[in-house]
Structure 1
Amino acid sequence: MNPFKTVLYAYLILLSGNTVFSQELENNTTQQSSNLPLLENTVAYANPKNDNILNSFNYNSLSQIDTTHANKNTIAYPPAFKDYRRLAYDTGMYVGATVIAFGILYAMPESATNWDKQAMKENGFAYKWKQNVKAGPVWDEDDWVLNYVTHPYSGAVYYMTARSSGFNIFESFLYSAFMSTFFWEYGIEAFAEIPSKQDLIVTPVIGSAVGECFFYAKKSIIKHDRRVLKSRFLGYTTLFVIDPFNTLLDSFGYKEKQKTQLNVAPIGFDKGTNKTVWGLNFSMQF
């Protein structure tokens, strides 16, 4: 069978299986949270006529234990707002990582990368970049692993960078397309070779499809206390593989800007007076 078809079919099977598995985990977690029992609590307050007599009335609400359990399974991922600051930090990390990646590729043999190192040395990097940009894009002859494995993975990482910063599917795809096209194909890689037709398509398109599966997988991992098969090590390792830059950023102690909210909301129902019990809800996000 053609290697391209083999990889394509493998990706389709991986995407469908990964999506079903992740969504099933998410649905099971959501169903467990929604099936929490509604317990009956008691509110006691002093009678105005006699401070020594306490009247108690029953009302229905979630107990403190249930509330804690529900909150544990509803960790805010992705963020409820577009975190441009996180995306900017991640993009800055790309620059540093790309310099390292360029050095690794330059050190690899020409048979693996198809880079003309001699021309790069003789005419300079800038001259070679202009020459390659004018000549492209072309159908390259790179190894199929580079074209149909590493490039889709890179596109998925680009996609996850935006998706984990609160951006939607379309916006994350645009970010992946921008980074793969202008940052890599017509940017860094153009210093060494002519932009590739298949890379311009495969990286953002298949990469975004893989990235959305990564997104559902990350949601499931986070909801399960960052564990995979009950292992914290496997959980963090998987998170690093599917979303390396956000995982690194979080490990460095990144925190969103503080957000506070104060509102009045019903917290129960008083059967004695047949009235709703109201309270102040204060939330703070760091």
Structure 2
Amino acid sequence: MAPGGSIFKEVLESHLLSSDYETGKAKSEAKSNSTLTKSTSVGLNGKNGTSSKNGVHDLLGCPVCKNLMYPPIHQCPNGHTLCSNCKIEVHNLCPTCHHDLGNIRCLALEKVAESLELPCRYQSLGCNDIFPYYAKLKHEQNCGFRPYNCPYAGSECSVMGDIPTLVAHLKDEHKVDMHDGFTFNHRYVKTNPHEVENATWMLTVFNCYGRYFCLHFEAFQLGTAPVFMAFLRFMGDDNEAKKFSYSLEVGANGRKLIWQGIPRTIRDSHSKVRDSQDGLIIQRNQALYFSGGDKQELKLRITGRIWKED
């Protein structure tokens, strides 16, 4: 675990939403204009920004996935409830009494849920808003306080956390190189550039303008052509990323390639950015030409800078 913060795994709630839910959600969201407040509002147990762990709130927890349930909420003939996703997972058998579930809706519980107001699940990370039950899920999927995925893509790391936590995690767990400053001059060496089946890549983190940026460099197959690619990601949300620009340059022997763009947020996955080709792409033959020598070893020097737009 990285020092300096709590690291946790988290799975966003995902449920199949019926047309009935869309109707209920529209009604509750219409109410939300007058009910959305800061943490000074009273929660379910009368305390600011907190929710009850007992009673009705507990009844809304699915016994299988433990997430809050959203319409359609199903029940068996004995009254045990579960969410629509888990109804499929348990093959239509009640996980509590093993009775056949059929297609019974728990309309009373759905109606009760419509009257509730709950804090955002990311309250501990700084979000102090209170939401009507059916508006809460939509907010949480886009909450600015929700944790970020670790940007160290090569290990398929599942760690999530805030930016300070992830910076410490990258440094201590992944041994990523950390640099201060808005310019960079990096040399990448690969002894066998003809093997790109298993993507080879590097990650470097830069600290400038009080923010953190991830410089990625990797090799992969683009269709049938082997290529090398460098791109920058911003450790923060997209609205902040758009305040910055960056340039990359690679070349030798009087020739060079230049890329200029806007860093992508780490909310966008590593593979999404790579597959969009939003970065400096170097064909293997070009890369080997820039490397010089006998073309048996890749030696690329990539320079660049980051600046803040006015």
TM-score, scaled relative to structure 2 = 0.20
Structure with bigger helix share is 1
* Structure number, greater radius of gyration: 1
TM-score normalised according to structure 1 size: 0.21
